[in-house]
């Protein structure tokens, strides 16, 4: 029942956004509708199995962006990778300082501010004596706020920027969707991080890179995928009262804007040094989850492969560094 309610609310939100001409209507409309209703006690839920399937579809679409002509660009990526890691360190420090001013203990502040690897940050923060609820809410709201802010930012600032609607395409190589029941269990068995997204992405990248097959979805298929994934993101906030959500939204909103401001400086350096578009550089460094940013990159047609590579690098780096940082914080305590 909660699933049907979530999709129904999402359909209403998507239709309203579509009618008003707002960007990414079938992702942001369902997200906001579910966010508002779930925080007011309405039971909404998107089962993890359903979310994983649609995230796998996104992975196939994203991996299909890899082409044989991509190799000549890879040489530029070490420079942007270094700038990304420097930006992550700086933005995390700034956001953590803000959370400390809001009354967070040191451990909760640092793990709330880390831009990615949400599940790992919550677990490690809990093990180090932090407040797992605060960390979970801060991490979730950061992802939501980035998704809400960036499309509107691109839409308002750049009138000739990327399209906010899915491209008008037809279904091609749709048989790749039949790989999902095979690839998902394999990815979990191999313990691929964010397996629902990355395992299909790697398979599709191999097929597309060798010019064997490349999945594209029609507009209605993209909208369907965005509708379900947007509803899934918005339904995370059940159990929070409206007052709690407002307070956490304010705290996380300021932290997210501070992080975005710092990362925008490093994105400008990438733009200047490598000639990468500002929108591409900003999205590649944006402090959102890899799955959610991948959705934006594909839907907004902002160089999805470049964006996904940098978010994957950030996630892997955080997974490596966070345990050592957790040990340091635990030692201080």
Q: Which of 201, 206, 212 is nearest to 295 (CA)?
A: 201
Paired with 172 in beta bridges are 216
pLDDT band at 72 (very low <50, low <70, confident <90, very high): low
Q: Which of 25, 32, 34, 31 is nearest to 2 (CA)?
A: 34
Q: Is residue 317 classed exposed, middle or buried when 0-12, 13-18 and 19+ CB atoms within 10 A define those classes?
A: middle
pLDDT exceeds 50 at position 160: no
From residue 196, give the alpha-carbon distance in Å to each of 55, 132, 175, 277, 307: 6, 24, 18, 29, 18
Q: Which of 213, 119, 126 is nearest to 171 (CA)?
A: 213
pLDDT band at 259 (very low <50, low <70, confident <90, very high): very high
Collapsed DSSP state (helix, strand, coil) of residue 172? strand
Q: How much is the CA Rg of the chain, to the nearest whole Å? A: 19
Q: Which of 234, 251, 243 is nearest to 113 (CA)?
A: 251
Collapsed DSSP state (helix, strand, coil) of residue 216? strand
pLDDT exceeds 60 at position 161: no
Return the percentage of the chain with pLDDT > 70, whole number.
91
């Amino acid at each position: 029942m909660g699933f049907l309610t979530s999709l129904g609310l999402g359909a209403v939100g998507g239709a309203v956004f579509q009618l008003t001409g707002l960007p990414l209507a079938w992702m942001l409309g369902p997200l906001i509708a579910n966010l508002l209703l779930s925080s007011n006690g309405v039971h909404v839920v998107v089962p993890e199995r359903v979310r994983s399937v649609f995230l796998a579809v996104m992975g196939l679409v994203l991996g299909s962006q890899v082409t044989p002509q991509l190799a000549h660009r890879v040489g530029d990526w070490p420079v942007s990778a270094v700038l990304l890691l420097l930006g992550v360190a700086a933005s995390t420090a700034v956001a953590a300082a803000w959370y400390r001013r809001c009354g967070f203990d040191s451990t909760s502040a640092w793990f709330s501010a880390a831009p990615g690897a949400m599940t790992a940050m919550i677990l490690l923060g809990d093990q180090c004596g932090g407040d797992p609820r605060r960390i979970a809410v801060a991490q979730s709201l950061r992802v939501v706020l980035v998704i809400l802010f960036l499309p509107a930012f691109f839409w308002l600032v750049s009138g000739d920027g990327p399209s906010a609607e899915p491209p008008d395409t037809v279904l091609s190589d749709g048989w790749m969707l039949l790989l999902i029941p095979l690839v998902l269990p394999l990815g979990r068995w191999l313990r691929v991080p964010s397996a629902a997204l990355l395992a299909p992405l790697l398979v599709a990248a191999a097929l597309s890179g060798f010019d064997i097959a490349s999945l594209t979805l029609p507009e209605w298929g993209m909208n369907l995928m965005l509708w379900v994934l947007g509803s899934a993101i918005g339904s995370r906030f059940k159990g929070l009262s409206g007052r709690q959500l407002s307070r956490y939204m304010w705290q996380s909103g300021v932290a997210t804007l501070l992080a975005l401001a710092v990362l925008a400086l490093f994105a400008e350096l990438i733009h200047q040094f490598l000639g990468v578009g500002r929108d591409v550089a900003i999205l590649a460094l944006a402090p959102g989850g890899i799955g959610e940013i991948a959705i934006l990159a594909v839907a907004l047609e902002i160089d999805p492969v470049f964006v996904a590579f940098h978010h994957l690098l950030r996630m892997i780096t955080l997974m490596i560094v966070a345990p050592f940082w957790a040990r340091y914080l635990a030692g201080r305590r």
